[in-house]
């Protein structure tokens, strides 16, 4: 079963079925539907009665025709919240869902080389669109995707705000949760005092140097590789022997990324849970700060970006 976030689906079905809808229900269920721009959900648009953004779990196995009426969608939301089948991500003022193709345009604007895969989220610590080349690239990329002037202006305005956090709306629910926690982790790191920030980055660099012993299966493979190298290069193969005898703590992708990724991925991606003891062993202080940020960003419903930076003394 494919788990999908319904933000896009709900918008589609609500837009497609707004005839004959009780205005009171609209008012109650949704504050506002975005009329002037397709593909953008403002933070105020999909809220449940507690004022939290509702992101329901719908899957392809649901029959969409049965949900193609607004009231039914609302009922569905109510039911979903009761059954804990939704994620309540409370969006901050400067956090937005965007379509994946808009996110792709943003990344292409930074770098004209085509990217493999796409980014799920980004934290914009500065106004990168201030750079003429980036802005021009961004606009022409959106134009090529048939976004109109109003929509393009809207994205320019939002993406120009330093501190903006963007997450793609059309990915799986589990992924969306991870994107939010991950990008919020970056935001919390950037908030640290300069001393604590630099300290964390130094520890991250040390962590990247850690190598782990191989499992017997991995060892068998690298032994074969080494034998082949030895046949080809003779004694010279010894020079790479140590690289074959151990593996890095992180994947190549994280290894090539900035030091912040070490923490952001470890905190939010279950694949890197095994890294935590290494942080603790390398630096109890870094681990304490890491744990405090992690507790903040994994609490998707209560996260508050206005809290002061974490220190060793606060949470």
Distance CA 191, CA 129 (A): 22
Q: Which is nearer to Zn ion, 216 or 270 (CB)?
A: 270
Q: Which residues contact 3 (CB under 8 A, 6 or more apart)?
A: 57, 59, 172, 173, 174
Short-list 124, 270, 128, CA closest to 187: 124
Distance CA 111, CA 43 (A): 28
Q: How far is the CB of 68 from Zn ion (least distance, A)?
A: 37
Q: Which is nearer to Zn ion, 188 or 261 (CB)?
A: 261
Nearest residue (beta carbon) to Zn ion: 264
Q: Which is nearer to Zn ion, 70 or 290 (CB)?
A: 290
Q: How far is the CB of 183 from Zn ion (least distance, A)?
A: 7
Question: How many residues are recorded in the chain?
Answer: 315
Question: Contact residues for Zn ion (CB under 5 A)?
Answer: 261, 264
Strands (E) located in the chain? 3-5, 54-59, 86-88, 95-98, 121-124, 164-168, 211-213, 246-248
Q: How far is the CB of 205 from Zn ion (least distance, A)?
A: 16
Q: How far is the CB of 266 from Zn ion (least distance, A)?
A: 11
Q: Which is nearer to Zn ion, 54 or 167 (CB)?
A: 167
Q: Which is nearer to Zn ion, 122 or 152 (CB)?
A: 122
Tell me the β-bridge partners of 246. 213
Q: How far is the CB of 308 from Zn ion (least distance, A)?
A: 22
Short-list 280, 311, 267, 152, CA closest to 206: 280
Eight-state DSSP code of residue 312: S
Q: Which is nearer to Zn ion, 82 or 116 (CB)?
A: 116
Q: How far is the CB of 273 from Zn ion (least distance, A)?
A: 17
């Amino acid at each position: 079963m494919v788990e999908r976030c319904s933000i896009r689906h709900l918008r589609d079905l609500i837009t497609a079925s707004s005839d004959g809808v009780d205005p009171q229900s609209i008012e109650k269920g949704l504050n506002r539907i975005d009329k002037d721009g397709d593909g953008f959900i403002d933070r105020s648009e999909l809220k449940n009665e507690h004022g939290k953004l509702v992101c329901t779990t719908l899957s392809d196995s649901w029959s969409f025709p049965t949900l193609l009426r607004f009231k039914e969608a609302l009922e569905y939301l109510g039911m979903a919240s009761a059954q804990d089948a939704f994620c309540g991500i409370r969006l901050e003022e400067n956090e937005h869902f965007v379509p994946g193709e808009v996110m792709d345009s943003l990344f292409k604007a930074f770098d004209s080389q085509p990217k493999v895969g796409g980014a799920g989220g980004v934290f914009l610590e500065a106004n990168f669109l201030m750079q003429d080349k980036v802005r021009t690239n961004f606009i022409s990329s959106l134009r090529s995707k048939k976004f109109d002037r109003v929509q393009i202006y809207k994205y320019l305005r939002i993406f120009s705000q330093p501190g903006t956090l963007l997450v793609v709306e059309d990915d799986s629910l589990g992924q969306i949760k991870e994107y939010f926690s991950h990008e919020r982790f970056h935001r919390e790191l950037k908030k640290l005092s300069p001393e604590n920030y630099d300290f964390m980055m130094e520890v991250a660099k040390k962590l990247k140097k850690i190598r782990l012993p191989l499992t017997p299966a991995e060892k068998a493979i690298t032994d074969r590789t080494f034998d082949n190298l030895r046949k080809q290069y003779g004694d010279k193969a010894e020079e790479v022997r140590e690289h074959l005898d151990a593996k890095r703590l992180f994947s190549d992708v994280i290894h090539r990324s900035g030091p912040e990724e070490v923490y952001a991925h470890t905190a939010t991606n279950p694949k890197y849970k095994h890294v935590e003891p290494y942080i603790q062993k390398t630096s109890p202080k870094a681990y304490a700060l890491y744990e405090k940020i992690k507790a903040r960003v994994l609490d998707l419903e209560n996260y508050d970006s206005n809290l002061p930076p974490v220190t060793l003394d606060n949470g």
